[in-house]
């Protein structure tokens, strides 16, 4: 009797199958290890990029605003700034439009306050106003931009400062010398359409959030409180630079330090948190006006 060989197909032996499975497991384990390492590297780089971006964004905003220090404040008023700027609780300006509170922020960091007309004109004179006047008639609707508390110190036509003592609609009652009893009138004549701007104070400080992280916050001191500017900022040191006569000429941020959001177990320093320092030397041009 003859036997057909048509269906005699050779299969895998058990040994061959075990060897193939072992090789497959080795390859999968190798690929998994490579994937995990790549994921860790990616997450680390992502954390570093976010940290760097936070620091650079914060220093950019701070530099831009600090550079405006003193704008809209007449230099002759510097010695009387505690009288002009008195709506902010807890701080008292000296004879400079910048105040550094050394070591009073979270982690012993500095707090900086700077005063200037940061936002441009908030109102415009409706008619010409002569020297000695104590009333400023503004264009229709502009009066609502001002008040008797946080928006009371103004600059008129880039020529002089005044404090608002009363507001009726779009008419402001002003005092150009709060160190003297009564409302003192304008020192200059002003034409219609001249600008009226608000002098405000911006403060920067590091605070600890509820989750334990540290955030750089910005406060315009207008009642809204401190608002987040950059996350995971753990150091802010600010120095003042004066000339031989003691006048403020520059402000130096040295440094502003950001750290990663999470620790890296492969990084042995600083409890696994990587850090990034930014520095800036800022020369506000309005401080250089004699």
> Average pLDDT for residues 194-202, to the nearest whole number?
97
pLDDT number for residue 24: 81
Identify the residue whose tokens are 């520059």: 250
The radius of gyration of the chain's CA atoms, rounded to the nearest angstrom, is 32
- pTM of the entire predicted model: 0.85
21, part of any domain: no
266 in the same domain as 234: yes
107 in the same domain as 233: yes
Measured between alpha carbons, how far is 10 from 145 in angstroms, rounded to an integer? 92
135, part of any domain: yes
pLDDT number for residue 146: 97
pLDDT band at 5 (very low <50, low <70, confident <90, very high): low
pLDDT at 6 over 70: no
pLDDT band at 52 (very low <50, low <70, confident <90, very high): very high
194 in the same domain as 205: no
144, part of any domain: yes
102 in the same domain as 241: yes
pLDDT band at 28 (very low <50, low <70, confident <90, very high): confident
> Tokens in use for 244?
């031989």
288 in the same domain as 214: yes
Q: Are 263 and 272 in contact (CB under 8 A)?
A: yes
Identify the residue whose tokens are 């780089």: 45
Residue 191 sits in which domain range? 118-198
214, part of any domain: yes
User: How many secondary structure helices (H) and strands (E) does the chain include?
Assistant: 2, 14
47 in the same domain as 64: yes
pLDDT number for residue 149: 94
Q: Which of 149, 171, 198 is the last residue of a domain?
A: 198
177 in the same domain as 104: no
pLDDT at 3 over 60: no
> Average pLDDT for residues 176-200, to the nearest whole number?
96
> Average pLDDT for residues 67-83, to the nearest whole number?
92
Name the residue among 78, 76, 74 with its Cα closest to residue 93. Answer: 78
Q: Which of 148, 165, 198 is the last residue of a domain?
A: 198
91, part of any domain: no
8, part of any domain: no
- Number of domain units in the chain: 2
6, part of any domain: no
127 in the same domain as 238: no
235 in the same domain as 190: no
Mean pLDDT, the chain, as a whole number?
Answer: 91
Half-sphere exposure of 234 (CA within 13 A, CB side): 14
pLDDT at 1 over 70: no
254 in the same domain as 189: no
Q: Which of 165, 198, 231 is the last residue of a domain?
A: 198
135 in the same domain as 166: yes
SS3 content of the chain, % helix, strand, coil (to 5): 25, 30, 40
Q: What is the pLDDT of residues 255-281, one digit of tens each?
A: 999 999 999 888 889 999 999 999 999
272 in the same domain as 188: no
pLDDT at 53 over 80: yes
Coil vs helix vs strand at 129:
strand
10, part of any domain: no
Which range has the worst mean pLDDT, 45-49, 152-156, 188-192? 45-49
- Pair type for strands 214-219 and 227-231: antiparallel
């Amino acid at each position: 009797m003859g036997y057909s060989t048509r269906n005699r197909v050779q299969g895998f032996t058990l040994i061959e199958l075990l060897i193939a499975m072992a090789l497959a497991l080795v390859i999968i384990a190798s690929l998994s290890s490579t994937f995990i390492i790549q994921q860790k590297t990616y997450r680390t780089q992502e954390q570093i990029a976010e940290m760097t971006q936070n620091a650079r964004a914060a220093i950019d905003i701070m530099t831009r605003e600090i550079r405006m220090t003193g704008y809209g404040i007449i230099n002759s008023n510097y010695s009387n700034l505690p009288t002009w700027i008195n709506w902010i609780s807890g701080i008292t300006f000296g004879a400079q439009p910048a105040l550094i509170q050394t070591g009073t922020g979270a982690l012993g960091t500095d707090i900086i306050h700077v005063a200037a007309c940061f936002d441009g004109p908030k109102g415009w004179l409706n008619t010409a106003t002569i020297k000695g006047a104590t009333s400023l008639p503004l264009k229709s609707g502009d009066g609502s931009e001002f008040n008797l508390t946080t928006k009371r110190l103004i600059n008129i036509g880039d020529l002089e400062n005044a404090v608002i003592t009363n507001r009726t609609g779009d008419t402001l009652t002003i005092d150009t010398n709060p160190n003297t009893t009564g409302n003192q009138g304008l020192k200059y004549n002003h034409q219609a359409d001249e600008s009226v701007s608000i002098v405000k104070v911006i403060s920067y400080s590091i605070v600890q959030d509820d989750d334990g992280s540290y955030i750089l916050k910005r406060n315009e001191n207008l009642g809204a409180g401190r608002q987040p500017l950059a996350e995971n900022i753990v150091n802010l040191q600010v120095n003042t630079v004066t000339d031989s006569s003691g006048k403020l000429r520059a402000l130096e941020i040295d440094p502003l330090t950001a750290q990663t959001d999470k620790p890296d177990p492969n990084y042995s320093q600083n409890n696994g948190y990587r850090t990034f320092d930014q520095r800036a030397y800022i020369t506000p041009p309005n401080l250089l006006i004699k």
